[in-house]
Structure formats: structure tokens, C-alpha cells
Amino acid sequence: DSGVTQTPKHLITATGQRVTLRCSPRSGDLSVYWYQQSLDQGLQFLIHYYNGEERAKGNILERFSAQQFPDLHSELNLSSLELGDSALYFCASSVVAGPNEKLFFGSGTQLSVL
């Protein structure tokens, strides 16, 4: 168990809908990363938050947004869902944001858009 909790584990929804994925980092970790794993795109970085502030954006669609709350948990909001958004969404956390910091990954949220 990495200590990073993601909910829900599975989510099935329809095209055009909006969903929220939740991530609780390890206790004390200030840094949260979101990644998307899909069959055609592989593992891609979406966004990074550190202590409530956005630090970097990757290949995140405009339909997607995220935030990190004062208690350090993070949410990834996906709207106007399309079939191609079906993927495994990972959250990872670390104490700080340094490159040598070990990342701890959650078990992911499997999103299926029908």
C-alpha cells in the first residue's frame, strides 16, 4: 500500500457527462501529480500541484481541470466526456517537488466512457 488513496476505483459514465476523480496523498506530502494511462497514448503527465498551487501542466485537455485543496487532497474534473477519455487515471504524491523525490502512486481510477 503506497498510502495514496484514489476514489472511486472504477467509474462508468456516458459521453457528454462530467466526473470528478479524487486523490488523497500520503500524510505530509505536499506535491500531487496526475497521470493518464490509455491504450493509444500510454502514460501521460496531466498536471502537477504543490501545496495548493499549480506548478506544471502537461497534455491536459481544456475540458479537464484540477485543484488541490487546503487539506492537500486533489480533484481532477473531467467534463464533456468523450469515448477517447476512457483511461486509467493515476495520482502520485511526494513530500516536495524535487526531481529526486520518490513518487508514490495510487491504484488509479479506471474511467470507462460509453
- Can you give the binding site for another protein, defined by CB under 8 A? 2, 33, 35, 42-45, 48, 55-58, 88, 90, 92, 97-103, 105-108, 110
* CB nearer to another protein: pick between 70 and 99: 99
For the chain, the DSSP string reads --S-EEE-SEEEE-TT--EEEEEEPPTT--EEEEEEEETTTEEEEEEEEETTEEEEE-S--TTEEEEE-TTS-EEEEE-S--GGG-EEEEEEEESS--TTSPPEE---EEEEE-
* CB nearer to another protein: pick between 54 and 82: 54
Q: CB 6 → another protein: shortest distance, Å?
A: 10
* CB nearer to another protein: pick between 12 and 14: 12
